[in-house]
Chain A
Amino acid sequence: MDIKNIKSEFPIFKQKINGKPLVYLDSANSSQKPKAVIDRLSNFYETEFSNVGRSVHTLAVKATNRFEATRDMLKRYLNAKHREEIIFTKGATESINLVASSFGEKYINEGDEILTTELEHHSNYVPWHFLRKNKGAVIKFAPINKNGEVEIDEIKKLISDKTKIIAVTHISNVTGAVMPIKKIVDIAKEKNIPVLVDGTQGAPHLEIDMQNLGCDFYAISCHKMYGPNGLGVLYAKKKWLDDLPPYQGGGGMIDDVTKDNITFADAPTKFEAGTMQTAEVVAFAEAINFIEKLGIKNIATHENEILEYGYEKLQKNNSINIIGSPKNRGSVLCFTIKGIHPHDIATILDDEGVAIRAGHHCCQILHDKLGIAATARASIGVYNTKEDIDILCKAIDNCKKIFQI
């Protein structure tokens, strides 16, 4: 596989959008899927499908083995210490909800503080809000600086004796700021505070080594990593999984059930109630294979090259304002054009086959702070090329032409 011609691995690029070749710049929203992942999904349904972890028949054994093989693969890919530290969820959102709910139930009480940042996606704010509402917890937001990044000192300043958990994003899905997770973990460790990382944008673009990062929880959305939809991963240190109460109740997660009492299975099963996304988990192994064949470092180098090219080109355009100028930027370019609302930009770009996202990108706190209601966002995936950026820029010129600016 050659990264320069990687589009050919993705069947979606065979079609035309509004008569034009598809320029997909919405990978921060969801990435496209390589043929290997799509084929694995249908092949699994055609030849191997069964529910996992329950029946003893041949197909059940086969499906269970495939399912658990992905867990082993992720243990290796994330450099987790134990395979039990990998929990499958329906997405990073559920991963964070799981932690907020189970950790919150046991460790967060009235007046306790949850430390987060102004950069967070709603999925790393709303779950904590439930604890504020139901338990009287306090949420503190480390502010952004003028570059759209959160400085380590701002986090340090807000840590108090009441801080029970720090929940931060790995990469902002708006300003693109890459957060200094290791440094945050180091500070938190001094005070014995666990750290949850929302890795939704981090995992598809960075090397994610749990021993290196040292965080307690890491949330992943598989659909942004060229994997199937409806699947996420929660990495959690074993000590937490052994300690925390279950998140949801149902089949599979129990040890013993009587009319008077219920005991629960050990992790990871304790946190995987009900029928899991069998085919999606199996096919996700192909997404990891895809990433590993190319090499995450090569993917990052390629994406950064496109990102930098895009940044330079957009910056030269006087009517464009790029949101955020973090020292370390990952995968996203949010921008506004004077006199054209982002939604109009997105519609006009779509006419040229260019797919971007417009809106507040589920970051209302951040947009309020920036004083803008909405931005247009071009986000980069492995399949993007410099030519895609050129087409984006031409389409932006068309926006200006239509709006006569």
Chain B
Amino acid sequence: MELKELYQEIILDHGKNPRNKGQCSGYSHNAQAHNPLCGDKVHIYLKLDNEKKVIDMSFEGEGCAISLASASILTETLKGKDLSFTKKVTEDFLNMVKNKTKITLNSLTEDQITTITSLSGVQQFPMRVKCATMVWHTFLSALDKKN
């Protein structure tokens, strides 16, 4: 197990200074989740445009560096994107963590791919997988939860 693969610079940065934290104004959808084993909490807010595009998104929550970084990276990557694209990225992300596949979406920049891939270190830490994946599942359920 490689600790430095888990706690990469990108993750520590997002964990310490999470992007898009708070409640975005005029949100249309939201969902929350918590992990009863460790007490991690996350609440996702989405502002969707005619159910086609994520105009704005943010999150509130508390948790470990991995879960905060994952939430931060999710919002940074998916904000402003078409719904179908956000679902594809989520699917790819969950696949990467669970099945160790690579993220190859053409429409993501190299930087974005590097950032998302930084979370793949949890593969080697089975007890920490949920820390990384919970917010992505919460995002998917928020898409179905109109205010």
Q: Min CB distance, A47 to chain B, in Å?
A: 38
Q: Give complex CA distance A199, B4 in Å.
A: 41
* Min distance, Cβ B125 to any Cβ of chain A, angstroms: 6
A-B contact count, CB below 8 Å?
51
A45 in contact (CB, < 8 A) = no
Contacts of B38 in A (CB 8 A): 342-343, 358-360, 374
Q: What residues of chain B lie closer than 8 Å to A374, measured between beta carbons?
A: 38-39
CA of A347 to CA of B64, assembled, Å = 11
A313 to nearest B CB, angstroms? 23
- In the assembly, what is the distance between CA of A19 and CA of B40, in Å? 30
Contact flags B7-19 to A (C-beta < 8 A → 1, else 0): 1000010001000
Judge whether B63 and A341 touch: CB under 8 Å: yes
Best-buried of B7, B16, B39, B131 by chain A (most CB within 10 Å):
B39
User: Would you call the interface of chain A mostly helix, strand, loop, or mixed?
Assistant: mixed
Across-interface contacts of A341 in B (CB, < 8 A): 63-65
Closest B residue by C-beta to A374 = B39
Using an 8 Å CB-CB cutoff, how does the interface string of A326-359 with B read, 1 for contact, 0 for none? Answer: 0000000000000111111001100100000011
Chain B residue contacts of A360, Cβ below 8 A: 38-39
B62 contacts chain A at the CB level, 8 A cutoff:
yes
A257 interface residue, CB < 8 Å from B? no
Determine the chain A residues whose CB is within 8 A of the CB of B6 once the complex forms: 347
Do A343 and B128 contact each other (CB < 8 Å), given the known contacts A373-B41, A373-B62? yes
For chain A, the bracket of interface size reads 20 to 34
CB pair B63 A347 closer than 8 Å: no
Over the window 121-144 of chain B, the binary record of Cβ atoms lying under 8 Å from chain A Cβ atoms (1 yes, 0 no) is 000010110010000000000000
* In the complex, chain B residues whose CB is within 8 Å of the CB of A359: 37-39
Q: Does A367 contact B (CB under 8 A)?
A: yes
Residues A18 and B37 in contact, CB atoms below 8 Å apart: no
Interface residue B66 (Cβ < 8 Å from any Cβ of A) = yes
Q: Are B3 and A348 in contact (CB under 8 A)?
A: yes
CB distance from B4 to the nearest CB of A (A): 8
Complex interface: chain A residues within 8 A of B16 (CB):
339
- Asked whether A343 lies within 8 Å of B12 as measured between CB atoms, the reply is no
Question: Interface digits, A346-385 against B, CB 8 Å rule (1 contact, 0 not)?
Answer: 0110010000001110001001000001100000000000
Closest-by-CB residue of B relative to A352 is: B3
B1-39 contacts to A (CB < 8 Å): 1, 3-4, 6-7, 12, 16, 37-39
CB distance from A309 to the nearest CB of B (A): 27
Q: Which of B62, B65, B131 has the most chain A CB atoms inside 10 A of its CB?
A: B65
B65 to chain A, nearest CB (A): 5
Write out the residue numbers on chain A whose beta carbons fall within 8 Å of the beta carbon of B12: 402-404
A-B pairs, top 4 by smallest CB distance, nearest first, are: A341-B64, A343-B64, A373-B39, A359-B38
A-B contact pairs, 19 of them (CB 8 A): A342-B64, A343-B38, A343-B64, A343-B128, A344-B64, A347-B3, A348-B7, A351-B1, A360-B38, A364-B39, A373-B39, A373-B40, A373-B62, A374-B38, A374-B39, A402-B3, A402-B7, A402-B12, A403-B65
